[in-house]
Structure 1
Amino acid sequence: MARFVFITGGVVSSLGKGLASAALGALLQARGFTVRLRKLDPYLNVDPGTMSPFEHGEVFVTDDGAETDLDLGHYERFTGVAARRTDSVSSGRIYSNVLEKERRGDYLGKTIQVIPHVTNEIKDFISIGEDEVDFMLCEIGGTVGDIEGLPFFEAIRQFSHDQPRGQCIFMHLTLLPYLAASGELKTKPTQHSVKELQSIGIAPDILVCRSEHPIPQKEREKIALFCNVRKDAVVPAYDLKSIYEAPLAYHREGLDQAVLDAFNISPAPKPNLDRWYDVADRIENPEGEVKIAIVGKYVQLEDAYKSIREALTHGGMANRVKVAVEWVDAELFEREDPSPHLEGFHAILVPGGFGERGTEGKISAARFARERKIPYLGICLGMQMAVIEAARNVAGVATAGSEEFDHEAGKKRFEPVVYHLKEWIQGNHRVERRSDDDKGGTMRLGAYDATLAGGSRVAGIYGGTAIEERHRHRYEVDIKYREKLEDAGLKFSGMSPDGRLPEIVEWADHPWFIGVQFHPELKSKPFAPHPLFADFVRAAVETSRLV
């Protein structure tokens, strides 16, 4: 039976609960334990799939097709454990499940209430797969005191009492603000946050205190006294240059030991942190630098492209170079020469997105990279824009465009080289979609196989011709344009196993120009960089040596 660690947050949001959870998972793995991490989010959306990136950052997609919070990306990157649909749930999903059961009559005519029906549903979710691992780390989204989070806090309180004594602990993240005028760290917000938590029946076993300044021993003792925790269970969490320093930093401050002590696990297995020492060395001691432009439409919020940014870092680590990323708004050169915005970069990446805004700028970026022989990686929409650019400027399809943009405009303006995907094979059955279907959960989601052309650049990068990658899209390059595009030099080097859906395109006469319909960034890790990103950064390094 798994031991459960419930991670909560107080004082303010965005303290780094997801990162702390992921780092703790990595530390427990380093001591030989198996872990699984999951996220309980209090918002009423069923999942983040229909939320704007400006609202919630990127949507992380699992192999089994769940659209989840970006924190699950942290969990995977730090532990290497592939997240599942059962590792993410929201209030919307919980309430939806309860109401579906009520409509079916599963509750036998009872009055449906938050307690016990909603809290029972949450507890059932928490316990999924509890016999599979040694530790289950459950992060509760939001901040203690938020009204929408109360059912989750009540559920974990009940859950801890339902389990045998010693099977559950609570870890609470708080903020110690520094007042420059008085030169003091203030502990009162942490005290009030813990008091709020205690008022709903939860007493934290461990406090993780975020601070920009060193926390004196007397302040740690004061926090321990007033918050009723052991002194060695008050763990400082300081700002770091890189998130990948977190496992080593938390280990130095004793977080993993505090967790094992709280569970009375003694003697504690010694950790093997060689993996994280190597990661830290590659980040801290690069042997060069490359500049890569991300030409996107959500560049005002870096979290919208979180996994891409991290995958580029991993690619840099694989090549022992620092990747200096610059965010370029695609709308800057919608109708003008992109050269002033893209000169000086060693590579260009165009990520995914939805809607027509900024797409002409992405097409211009693809053309700039093709003509200037700059390494280019197009992901999802970035691949589609590269195909449209090739169709317009090389293959003679002057009005090439996407059905997505005509759908938005309500009239036909383009020859749809990219069309709305209406059916595909998933496993052993056919999936069908219509353009007027609900938006949530109706895309081609999750892991799908692809077959690579022998002798292609991507086959060399992957080291084989059979791959599996994660998808999130509802528009697809139309296969009927394949012959015309290949005659122009754009090779379809990756296809779905049935040969109907283009997965990868590449320019054969270009040093490095690849577009992929899937999202390789979702599977990259600091200790196992995705091969596409590792080779993309390698190509950028080669470019940097030529300029």
Structure 2
Amino acid sequence: MARYIFITGGVVSSLGKGLMAASLAALLQARGYKVRIRKFDPYLNVDPGTMSPYQHGEVYVTDDGAETDLDLGHYERFTGVAAHQSDNVTSGRIYQTIIQRERRGDYLGATVQVVPHVTDAIKAFAQADTVDDDGQDLDFVLCEIGGTVGDIESLPFIEAIRQLKNELGRGRSISIHVTLVPYIAAAGELKTKPTQHSVRELAALGVQPDVLVCRCEKPLPASERAKIALFCNVPAGAVIPALDAPSIYAVPEQYHAEGLDAEVLRAFGIEPEGNPDLSRWSDIMDRLQNPEGEVTIGVVGKYVGLQDAYKSLNEALVHGGIANRVKVKIRWIDAELFEGDHDMVAAELEPCHAILVPGAFGERGAEGKIASVRFARERKVPYFGICFGMQMACIEGVRSTGGIANASSTEFGPTEQPVVGMITEWMSPEGIQKRESDGDLGGTMRLGAYEATLAGNSVVASIYGGTTISERHRHRYEVNTAYRDMLESGGLVFSGMSPDGMLPEIVERPDHPWFVGVQFHPELKSKPFDPHPLFASFIAAAVKQSRLV
């Protein structure tokens, strides 16, 4: 029977609740437990799919097609457990579900209220799917509550976990509160009062924390830990300092050294036995801290002003460096800089050992990305195009080697040469999916895991080590196969297609040192202990390029 760990945050946002949850789950895994992590977001959007990357960072997509919070990426990268649609829920989705039930008459005329209807729905989401993908019972379910204690939006979630803790009983649930212990430089002191107030506010809502994780920029003395324990009503050992780490992949070992996993088990009445096997994390940190070289990757993007917009991409490049035991230096470049300025293209990209154009939506920055593709093709610099980056590679190919200067995408408006166009019907594992051109934006893309068939003699088949793959998608537009012959005659080969042969999944240039464009998002499946093969190969090509310049 699963035990539940509820994780809340206080004082300020961005304290690293998601990273703490992922690290704790990894520690419990290393002790032999089966875990799953869930994220509850208080905002009223049904999911983050229609939100600007500048508002919410990247949208993380699961195999079953859910558009979710980026924290689920941390969860997968640290545990290797594939997230499900049931692992991320928002207030918007909760209310949508309740209103749909009310309209159907499911409540039999009752007045629909926050308590019990909203809180019951939250509890139901928390307790869904308590077996792993192999059908084995989970040992721990970690539930992270987004936002900060005191936010109006999060109150129903706090009330729901209060109720659930009572219903589950002792030994079945605990609460972890992540808080801040700020350092006041003028006074030369760490201040515990914000933590005390935050815990008091949480306790006033009926939830007494069992473990406190205290973010601080200076070591937390034993005297201050004892003070926090005294005023917050927790054992001194359950006050866990959380200092900044040299890498997010150092955090599991750091939390273990501070006793987080042991205290969590003790809070459940489980006496820890021995130490967790953290050898995979030690190896990762050894590779990160002792690289045998360095490569510079130019990422020509649209949302480079907020790196969280490319969180999984950033991490996948790091994983490629881990696989090759090199340090990856990412040069973030705004695609708009290149529009109409060819000298700027060369100035920005010449220092790079490889170029990557990631996914995006809309016309802004498209011409700059096309210019980056041209630079990589002509200069023989390794190129990796992901989703939008593959589409721009195809447009560049039609323009440069096909001689059609006005080749474009219908995403940018009407065009006589639609190299890329919106697909309105496609086959999914659930059957034929349809989309109206003027329909809703939310949840109407080709989302989730789809298989692709690779040409047996292709570069990508050798990289994957096979000809059948499954990767995650998130896009509305597809490359038009009517241009296939023209592109292939110019050297851009369609090396991966959907199983029915209708949708291009991968293009490559066999005569280029490394030139691959993919319609899917491989970064979503990369992990530090299992780097995605495309990123490992891409960084290997960058290493080879670095030795040529």
TM-score range normalised by the length of the shorter chain = over 0.9
1:507-518 superposed matches below 5 A:
507-518=509-520
Matched, 1:283 2:288: yes
Deviation at 1:414, TM superposition (A): 4.7
Deviation at 1:269, TM superposition (A): 5.2
Which secondary structure state, in structure 2, belongs to the residue aligned with residue 38 of structure 1? strand
Deviation at 1:428, TM superposition (A): 4.9
Structure 1 residues not aligned, in runs of 5+: 407-411
1:79-478 superposed matches below 5 A:
79-131=79-131, 132-268=137-273, 270-337=275-342, 338-406=345-413, 412-478=414-480
2: CA distance, partners of 1:152 / 1:130:
19
| Contact in 2 for aligned 1:260/1:268 (Cα 8 Å) | no
1: CA distance, partners of 2:8 / 2:474:
30
Deviation at 1:395, TM superposition (A): 1.5
Task: Give CA-to-partner distance per residue, 1:365-407, whole Å, 9 cap, x none.
Answer: 000000000000000000000100000011122211000001x
2:498 corresponds in structure 1 to: 496
Q: Which amino acid aligns with 1:480?
A: A
2: CA distance, partners of 1:91 / 1:447:
26
| Contact in 2 for aligned 1:362/1:385 (Cα 8 Å) | yes
Which secondary structure state, in structure 1, belongs to the residue aligned with residue 83 of structure 2? coil
2: CA distance, partners of 1:294 / 1:57:
16
Which secondary structure state, in structure 1, belongs to the residue aligned with residue 214 of structure 2? strand
Deviation at 1:488, TM superposition (A): 1.0
Which secondary structure state, in structure 1, belongs to the residue aligned with residue 332 of structure 2? strand
Which secondary structure state, in structure 1, belongs to the residue aligned with residue 547 of structure 2? helix
Q: Which amino acid aligns with 2:154?
A: G
1: CA distance, partners of 2:416 / 2:12:
48
1:409 corresponds in structure 2 to: none
| Contact in 2 for aligned 1:423/1:432 (Cα 8 Å) | yes
Larger displacement relative to structure 2 (396-405 or 412-421): 412-421
TM-score normalised by the chain length of structure 1: 0.98
2:532 corresponds in structure 1 to: 530
Distance change (3 Å), C-alpha of 1:414 and 1:187: farther
1:74 corresponds in structure 2 to: 74
Q: Which amino acid aligns with 2:418?
A: P
TM-score normalised by the chain length of structure 2: 0.98
| Contact in 2 for aligned 1:402/1:418 (Cα 8 Å) | yes
Task: Give CA-to-partner distance per residue, 1:15-70, whole Å, 9 cap, x none.
Answer: 00000000000000000000000000000000000000000000000000000000
Q: Which amino acid aligns with 1:442?
A: T
Deviation at 1:427, TM superposition (A): 1.2
Deviation at 1:165, TM superposition (A): 1.8
| Contact in 1 for aligned 2:380/2:513 (Cα 8 Å) | yes
Task: Give CA-to-partner distance per residue, 1:435-471, whole Å, 9 cap, x none.
Answer: 1110000000000000000110000000000000000
Deviation at 1:130, TM superposition (A): 2.5
Matched, 1:519 2:521: yes
Deviation at 1:301, TM superposition (A): 0.1
Distance change (3 Å), C-alpha of 1:267 and 1:69: closer
Which secondary structure state, in structure 2, belongs to the residue aligned with residue 259 of structure 1? helix
Distance change (3 Å), C-alpha of 1:414 and 1:310: farther
1: CA distance, partners of 2:254 / 2:336:
40
Which secondary structure state, in structure 2, belongs to the residue aligned with residue 546 of structure 1? coil
Larger displacement relative to structure 2 (436-445 or 389-398): 389-398
1: CA distance, partners of 2:404 / 2:98:
52
| Contact in 2 for aligned 1:346/1:543 (Cα 8 Å) | yes
Structure 2 residues not aligned, in runs of 5+: 132-136
2: CA distance, partners of 1:435 / 1:296:
26
2: CA distance, partners of 1:366 / 1:127:
47
Deviation at 1:4, TM superposition (A): 0.3
Task: Give CA-to-partner distance per residue, 1:88-144, whole Å, 9 cap, x none.
Answer: 000000000000000000000000000000000000100002253100000000000
2:508 corresponds in structure 1 to: 506
Which secondary structure state, in structure 2, belongs to the residue aligned with residue 11 of structure 1? coil
| Contact in 2 for aligned 1:402/1:414 (Cα 8 Å) | no
Matched, 1:6 2:6: yes
2: CA distance, partners of 1:269 / 1:38:
28
2: CA distance, partners of 1:112 / 1:60:
32
Larger displacement relative to structure 2 (263-272 or 84-93): 263-272
Q: Percent identity, please.
A: 67
Task: Give CA-to-partner distance per residue, 1:316-363, whole Å, 9 cap, x none.
Answer: 000000000010000001111110111110000000000000000000
2: CA distance, partners of 1:258 / 1:541:
43
Which secondary structure state, in structure 2, belongs to the residue aligned with residue 81 of structure 1? coil
| Contact in 1 for aligned 2:409/2:415 (Cα 8 Å) | no
Larger displacement relative to structure 2 (72-81 or 393-402): 393-402
| Contact in 1 for aligned 2:419/2:479 (Cα 8 Å) | yes
Q: Which amino acid aligns with 2:283?
A: D
2: CA distance, partners of 1:193 / 1:439:
38
Aligned residues: 542
| Contact in 1 for aligned 2:266/2:272 (Cα 8 Å) | no
Matched, 1:21 2:40: no
Q: Which amino acid aligns with 1:534?
A: A
2: CA distance, partners of 1:389 / 1:31:
51
Q: Which amino acid aligns with 2:260?
A: L
Q: Which amino acid aligns with 2:165?
A: S
Q: Which amino acid aligns with 1:294?
A: V
Larger displacement relative to structure 2 (468-477 or 390-399): 390-399
Q: CA RMSD in A?
A: 0.8
Deviation at 1:270, TM superposition (A): 3.2
1:49 corresponds in structure 2 to: 49
Q: Which amino acid aligns with 1:403?
A: T
| Contact in 2 for aligned 1:41/1:142 (Cα 8 Å) | yes
